[in-house]
């Protein structure tokens, strides 16, 4: 066997409009995430990099496969494609830890959340994700595959050899890359809720909760569509499931900068100053005319 054929979207009517929409979403996400250059916010900057990396690993290849009719992918290239689709670490963990320390231990924030620590946490998340994917992908190369080389998906996530290894691989990816990070985030916010319950002033609770809204929005955008697809897996057809999973890979990178960055105080102040500068020349012209 020298190649696989990725067949996931072939046969679905009017998919050319979906590919145009997918390409538009990708371009917007690239522009938004490359415009984010705030090294002060290490976790946010890394989130933008991960979003850009993840969408670039999926969208151009999907566009090439289905829009330009190149469905065949070499055997080794297929596993490399799988590696880069799975490697994106869940950087929402770093943001959850940041909010946990900021709200629950505000006096220790400057000591615990240092640039060095955040860099170490982010590096560990990438190393963890890379290790999991290597452990998952490498054993698949040793399997024997059936005569059919068709992969009913939009990327290389299929093995027609159903055995203990493939089942274990699928469950391992779900647990380590999805449910374990979600459990950590829920634990962080449970402790945050417990800490806020001790605050007497309602105004202070609301103020602290508002600082978490951006991150909670990102968590909802990332996890809810995937959980919704898994929960209704038996009730939705394969085409709908594939389109939904593909959108979960490209929508968060587009929405994350809008939701998180534009709610950051420094970014809002910068936008206000920029708008103020643009308005000044018009006012100057009006004053000159009046004189």
Q: What is the pTM of this model?
A: 0.76
Rounded to an integer, the average pLDDT of 2-20 is 82
Residue 269 lies in a domain: no
Residue 205 lies in a domain: yes
Task: Give the domain extent around 218.
Answer: 15-258
- Residue 281's SS3 state is helix
Residue 10 lies in a domain: no
Write out the DSSP string of 130-153: HHHHHHHHHHHTTS---S--EE-S
Residue 63 lies in a domain: yes
pLDDT band at 149 (very low <50, low <70, confident <90, very high): confident
Residue 2 lies in a domain: no
Rounded to an integer, the average pLDDT of 59-70 is 86
CA–CA separation, 190 and 184 (whole Å) = 10
Residue 163 lies in a domain: yes
CA–CA separation, 6 and 171 (whole Å) = 22
Residue 82 lies in a domain: yes
Alpha carbon of residue 260 to chain centroid = 13
Report the CATH number at residue 196: 1.20.1070.10
Q: Is residue 289 scored above 80 in pLDDT?
A: no
* H or E element that contains 74: strand 72-74
Give pLDDT, residue 288. 42
| Residue 145 Ramachandran class (φ > 0 left, ψ -120 to 50 alpha, else beta) | beta
CA–CA separation, 35 and 51 (whole Å) = 13
Percent of the chain whose pLDDT exceeds 70? 76
Rounded to an integer, the average pLDDT of 186-211 is 85
Residue 4 lies in a domain: no
Nearest of 141, 129, 143, 142 to residue 172 by alpha carbon: 129
Which phi and psi angles does 144 have, rounded to 5°?
A: -95, 135
**Dihedral, CA atoms, 131, 137, 142, 143, nearest 10 degrees?**
140
Give pLDDT, residue 277. 62
Structurally, the chain folds into a number of domains equal to 1
Rounded to an integer, the average pLDDT of 183-199 is 89
Give pLDDT, residue 265. 56
Give pLDDT, residue 41. 65
């Amino acid at each position: 066997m020298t190649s696989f054929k990725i067949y996931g979207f072939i046969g679905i009517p009017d998919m050319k409009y979906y590919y145009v929409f997918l390409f538009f979403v990708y371009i917007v996400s690239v522009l938004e995430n490359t415009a984010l250059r705030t090294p002060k916010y290490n976790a946010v900057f890394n989130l933008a990099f991960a979003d850009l990396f993840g969408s670039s690993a999926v969208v151009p290849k999907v566009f090439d496969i289905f829009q330009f009719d190149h469905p065949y992918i070499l055997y080794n290239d297929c596993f490399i494609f799988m590696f880069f689709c799975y490697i994106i670490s869940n950087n929402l963990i770093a943001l959850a830890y940041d909010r946990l320390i900021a709200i629950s231990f505000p006096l220790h924030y400057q000591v615990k959340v240092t640039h060095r620590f955040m860099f170490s946490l982010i590096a560990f998340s990438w190393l963890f994700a890379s290790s999991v994917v290597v452990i998952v992908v490498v054993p698949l190369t040793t399997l024997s595959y059936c005569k059919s080389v068709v992969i009913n998906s939009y990327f290389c996530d299929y093995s027609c050899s159903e055995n203990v290894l493939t089942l274990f691989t699928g469950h391992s990816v779900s647990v380590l890359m999805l449910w374990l990070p979600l459990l950590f985030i829920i634990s962080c916010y449970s402790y945050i809720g417990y800490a806020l319950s001790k605050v007497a002033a309602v105004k202070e609770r609301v103020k602290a909760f508002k600082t978490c809204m951006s991150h909670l929005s990102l968590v909802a955008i990332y996890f809810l569509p995937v959980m919704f697809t898994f929960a209704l897996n038996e009730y939705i057809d394969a085409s709908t499931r594939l389109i939904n999973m593909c959108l979960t890979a490209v929508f968060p990178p587009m929405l994350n900068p809008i939701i998180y960055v534009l709610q950051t105080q420094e970014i809002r102040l910068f936008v206000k100053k920029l708008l103020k500068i643009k308005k000044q020349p018009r006012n100057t012209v009006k004053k000159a005319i009046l004189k």
